[in-house]
Amino acid sequence: MTDPKRLILRRPDDWHVHLRDGAMLDAVTAYTARQFRRAIVMPNLTPPITTVAAAQAYRDRIRAAAAGTAFTPLMTLYLTDDADPAEIEAGHAAGIFTAAKLYPANATTNSAHGVTDVRNIRAALETMQRIGMPLLIHGEVTDPDVDIFDREKVFIDRVFTTLLRDFPALKMVFEHITTRDAAEFVAATGPNVAATITPQHLHINRNAIFAGGLRPHFYCLPVAKREEHRLAVRRAAVSGSPKFFLGTDSAPHAVERKESGCGCAGIFNAPYAIESYAAVFDEEGALDRLEAFASEHGARFYGLPLNEDRIVLERSPAPVPDSLPAADTRLVPFHAGETLAWRYVGPA
Ligand code: NCD
Ligand code: ZN
């Protein structure tokens, strides 16, 4: 850490990523595998991953897409109203399911099968609490009467507090937090509650979506909030608290699905993920805390060993292309057309 031109970090893990399936899986997995040793892979495929067999088959497809690398996909179960506690327990015991994901029904991309009321999954949550399996939470209410910018805060009040009360020992990750409310809520809870933070919610506020016109490539869910919230999320990320860790939420959508009359939510940030986080920690004068955020806090929360190998970042220009080829289309990466100040060099 003494040389500000070069950083050597324990290899990071991505605790929240969408790798998709089929040709898109084959196109995007290498970007994640290049920087990260492990990743928590989201289960929101069509159809969603709700069984051990489906997760095992998906893991095989990811391993094939990452062949020749040391990348380890960690699989998640997509919770539905009729989630089977026995299937969850068996899948966790067999090392197939690392965690389970709670999508409130219709909160985001491919979440139509999500949970309509957490009371419907009590038995599953009791099992998870007993076996120490983390619950990963998309923390937004879906009530159309709630303003989209308030949905995370209202989720805390209406759902998360109830979960904490009813399952006080359940490990929970508040995924991709975007508000001061979420950052403060997580900081005030016990060690069984943590949060992931994306690059975009550290870099942009909601103005970015409307700068000079509608900017679909800055649209993701939860949607970026006002500046005071971005600053609070930044403070949490660089605070050194073990409750906050890296989760990119990299969510590729073909360019024509983004630039559309009804554009998909999701930002594809995998290609320059660690560079994007490094820029933030540098701006905050906190480069000495990047390694803990990127490579230690998440593994400790999940009860997994730290990676032993290291990566090198150097302070030299990293120009981000306007788009990248993927499957039979193109993807627009986060920071497209910008030049980032830190560059991922490779293994140490
Ligand atoms: C994700 C996707 O596209 O799968 N989109 C997003 O905006 N983050 C779904 C999600 O994580 O909400
Ligand atoms: Zn996501």
Confirm or reject: Cβ of 271 under 6 Å from ligand 1: no
Stated length of the chain = 348
Ligand 1 pocket check for 101: Cβ under 6 Å: no
pLDDT surpassing 80 at residue 176: yes
Return the pLDDT at 110: 75
Q: Give 139's contacts (C-beta < 8 A, 6+ positions apart).
A: 152, 155, 156, 159, 160, 174, 175, 177, 182, 222
Above 70 in pLDDT, residue 343? yes
pLDDT > 70: percent of the chain: 99
- What angle, rounded to 10 degrees, do the helices at 22-35 and 273-283 form? 40
Of 3.10.110.10, 1.10.10.60, 3.20.20.140, 3.30.1480.10, which CATH number belongs to 11-309? 3.20.20.140
The span from the CA of 136 to the CA of 154, in Å, is 18
Q: Give percent of the chain above pLDDT 90.
A: 96
How far is the centre of ligand 2, averaged over its atoms, from the C-alpha of 4 (Å)? Answer: 33
Out of 249, 264, 332, 334, give the residue to mutate to test ligand 1, the one with the largest number of ligand atoms within 8 Å of its CB: 249
Q: Which neighbouring-strand residues pair with 246?
A: 197
Query: For residue 3, how far is its CA from the centre of ligand 2 (angstroms)?
Result: 35
**Distance between CA 312 and CA 300 in Å, rounded?**
22
What separation in Å is there between the alpha carbon of 54 and the centre of ligand 1? 20
Q: Which pLDDT score is estimated for 11?
A: 98
Query: What is the average pLDDT across 2-26?
Result: 94
Asked whether the beta carbons of 10 and 310 are under 8 A apart, the reply is yes
**CA distance linking residue 68 with residue 340, whole number of Å:** 28
CA-wise closest residue to 163 among 187, 144, 185: 185
Whether residue 29 has its Cβ less than 6 Å from ligand 1: no
In this predicted structure, the answer to whether residue 237 has a pLDDT above a threshold of 70 is: yes
- Give the pLDDT band (50/70/90) at residue 107: confident
CA nearest 110: which of 49, 192, 62? 49
121: pLDDT strictly greater than 90: yes
- Residue 3, pLDDT above cutoff 70: no
Q: What is the DSSP string of 297-323?
A: HHHHHHT-PPP--EEEEESS-EEPPS-
| Ligand 1 neighbourhood includes 258 CB (under 6 angstroms) | no
List active site positions.
Answer: 249
Q: Contact, 179 vs 225, CB < 8 A?
A: yes
Question: Residue of the nearest CA to atom 9 in ligand 1?
Answer: 109
Q: How many CB atoms lie within 10 A of CB 333?
A: 24
Three-state secondary structure readout of 67-83: CCCCCEEEEEEECCCCC
Give the pLDDT of residue 4.
81
Supply the DSSP symbol for 284: T
| pLDDT confidence bin for 73, thresholds 50/70/90 | very high
Q: What is the pTM of this model?
A: 0.97
187-197: average pLDDT: 98
For residues 273-299, average pLDDT: 98
Residue 140 pLDDT > 80: yes
- For 329, how many CA atoms within 13 A lie in the half-sphere containing its CB? 13
pLDDT value of residue 113:
87
Query: What is the number of the ligand 1 atom nearest to the C-alpha of 175?
Result: 11
Q: Are strands 324-326 and 329-331 parallel, antiparallel or unpaired?
A: antiparallel
Q: How far is residue 259 CA from its own chain's centroid?
A: 23
**Does the structure show a pLDDT above 80 at 337?**
yes
What's the helix, strand, coil split of the chain in %, to 5?
40, 20, 40
In this structure, are residues 314 and 7 in contact, taking their beta carbons and an 8 Å threshold? yes
- Pair 280, 202: CB distance under 8 Å: yes
Provide the residue ranges of all domains of the chain, joining segments of one domain with +.
11-309
Whether ligand 1 lies within 6 angstroms of the CB of 138 is answered as yes
Q: What is the pLDDT of residue 108?
A: 75
DSSP state of 209: G
Q: What is the mean pLDDT of the chain?
A: 97
Confidence of residue 1 (pLDDT cuts 50, 70, 90): very low
Q: What is the DSSP string of 103-168?
A: PBTTSSTT-TTSBS-GGGGHHHHHHHHHHTPPEEE------TTS-GGGHHHHHIIIIIHHHHHH-T
What mean pLDDT is predicted for residues 213-225?
A: 98
Mean pLDDT throughout 304-319? Answer: 98
